[in-house]
Amino acid sequence: MLTGLDHLVVTVTDMGRAVDFYSRVLGLDVRYRDAQRVDLMLGDTALRLHQTDTDIAPVSATPTPGSLDLCLRCQLPLDEFKQHLDALAIDVELGPVARQGANGPIESIYLRDPDGNLLEICRASSR
């Protein structure tokens, strides 16, 4: 039946600020679909940005910036990714810490995007 995730909508208050963060800080490729929709590519999956004051339908019942809790896989060792964040003056709230991922043990660090969404950056762990 279902085979995977095509896209996930992220509600944001400022499209430009969100695009800058996700492209500059997280390295996602940007695809502009139209004036109101931007896709940030994560492999073959998109984080689709919708700004709160645009008229896009349909949307969730209560689209709310800052309500997302998302875990993204990282190829780099987390210490290297943390150095990248430090160089950009991006605060890490927690980590690295051991967690359980969808397919086994992971190590994670936690940070927030400009709207306050919680982003967990993880890497498979041998623990």
Give catalytic residue positions.
120
> Half-sphere exposure of 3 toward its Cβ, with a 13 Å CA cutoff?
3
**44 — alpha (psi -120 to 50), left (phi > 0) or beta?**
alpha
**37 — alpha (psi -120 to 50), left (phi > 0) or beta?**
beta
